[in-house]
Amino acid sequence: MSSKIKLMSHLVAGFPSDEIAFTAARALVQGGADILEVQLPFSDPSADGPSIQNACTKVLQRNYKTRDGLNFIKKLHETFPQTKIYLMSYASLVYTPGIEAFCKEAKKAGVDGMIIPDLPFDYDEGLTRYCNQNMMINIPVAAPSMSKERLSSLAHAGFPYIYAALRTGITGSDTKIDEATLKFLESVKEGGSKIYGGFGISKGEQSKALSSYVDAVVAGSVFVRIIEKYQNDKEALFDKLREKAEEISGKNKV
C-alpha cells in the first residue's frame, strides 16, 4: 500500500443547504479528509474563484448568518470529533463582533484553527494572540507574489502551520506543480513551520507531486463543483465526493 496523503478539504458552510453540506462533509471524511476547512459565506470572497463565490452568494441569499455557520461547525465537530476543523473566513466577519469574542465563539463550536487570508501575519489585529488564548492556531497565508524578504519574515515568525497558496490569483483553475512551485514551498518552510499547500488542486497526481513538500494538501473548488452538480441527488453526491477525496488523498491506493 502506498502511504496516504493528508488532505484538508474545503466546504462552504450551508451550501447549498446545511443538510447537503453535512452529507458532503461525511463523504469527504470517509474519503480520507483529515481536516475540514469550513468557509463562512462572505459577500466578496476576494481569493476565491467562481465556484466558491457562487456558493457563497447562494447561501447568503437564504439570509445565512455567522451564527448559522458556527452551528454547522459545531454539528461537524460533534459528529467527527477526530477530524480537525479549521474556520476560513475574511477579516470583516471576524473583526465586526470583535476578534477576541469571535475566537471564543469559534472555539466553543469546535474550531481548531483559523485561516483569514486578508489579515496579514504581522498586522493581524490580535488574531494570533486570541487564537492562542483559546487553544486554537492562526494559520497565515503565504503567496508566491510576496517579496523574498516578506516571505522570509513569515517563514521565521514561529507559526506552527502556514497555508501556502501555490499560485497567485483566485482558486478554482488547475495549478501546475513545477520547479518554481517546489522552490516556493521550500522557502515557506525554511523557518520550521509545517505547510498546507493548496489552490487549484483537483487531481491525485497533483497531490502526489506535493506530498513530500507539505504536511497536507488542500482541495476546495473541485469539491464545491461536485456539490453544485449533484446537489439534487444525495447518493451520487456522496459517492462522487468520496471518490474524489480518495483520489486526492491516495486512500485505498495499492
Cβ-based burial of 163 (10 A; exposed 0-12, middle 13-18, buried ≥19)? buried
Residue 19 falls in the annotated catalytic set: no
Catalytic residue among 37, 124, 246, 247: 37
Catalytic residue among 18, 48, 246, 247: 48
Q: Cell numbers of 219, please?
A: 482541495
143 in Cβ contact with 170 (< 8 Å)? no
Cα separation of the two ends of the chain: 4
- Residue 2 gets which letter from DSSP? P
Residue 48 falls in the annotated catalytic set: yes
∠ CA 117-79-19, rounded to 5°: 75
Distance (Å, rounded) from C-alpha 79 to C-alpha 77? 5
> Which sequence positions are flagged as catalytic?
37, 48
